[in-house]
Structure 1
């Protein structure tokens, strides 16, 4: 079923469009497509409620389901970071972190592929620090770091966890052995920058 929605100019003027584009992380030209995916997620929530498939009473359950739908539909399976969730839900960083963690737990089977894809994307954005003998990763999503560490713990409890670099807000260090194991678990070809480095 094709549904077209028009947003009246008095609800969203040019300044509002620019603000929304900034919040959603896109340019103004892409805004209609991005908002269309968000509208699809919202409509899915209503349809589930109308048909009695997902009748939620608690506010926290509603927020979790809403974020699950946004991840699945609007974000095409990308797990967002705390800043993005805070911008959409008007929550603090700590509240957003808890909300993401709850969604990853409650919808773990439905979001399994999305989580793996997000972890894999994070693992392809590394640099090797020869002086420290570690791979470094800049990541603003502590939940993804936690999930990487869960993978490591399940595979080999003797491996060093992904750890926040001292004095840094969102830079993490990964020892080569842990890096290789994570690449193996996520099906990624490992870099070989660490080979032959002591």
Structure 2
């Protein structure tokens, strides 16, 4: 369902997302911290890479980055935009990545559509594929003091998470929180945003 929804919106979404990253210095700061932690640690997977803009950013920052996305249409756009990078169709629930092979994982708003009961399995895959000491940067819509709630995302329904709950699920999977970022909604944004920096214990 999520893959089909993004397939249908792929071209439009790629246009929308092209410059959205540049609008938030706080998001850029979170990504810069992640890059500093994973530099030289091995391959970095951009999971839920969409059109591949952040995968290219990681590459330009000197990382050995590649992208994975559930949507074949998104991967087609990513490959066309960045022919020098590797992009694969795949699910975060069952990654075609060897055990303990990654230095880092970027999961930037790529779990927002995941039903809450499936999130522990995603974190388990992160732990399985990360080398010891590997890092994860996870971005999400934050609940702003409310319980976990679903909302009408432009592509398909998505979730707003309390960061404490996400951090607890990550901890149960063997990922230790190093830090977090909250930011208020920017122009044309509805909800508060959150990010977690995690490390495999």
Structure richer in helix, relative to its length: 1
Relative contact order, higher structure (CA 8 A, sep 6+) = 2
- Larger radius of gyration, structure 1 or 2? 1
TM-score interval for Structure 1 and Structure 2 normalised by the shorter chain: under 0.3
Q: What's the TM-score once normalised by structure 1's chain length?
A: 0.28
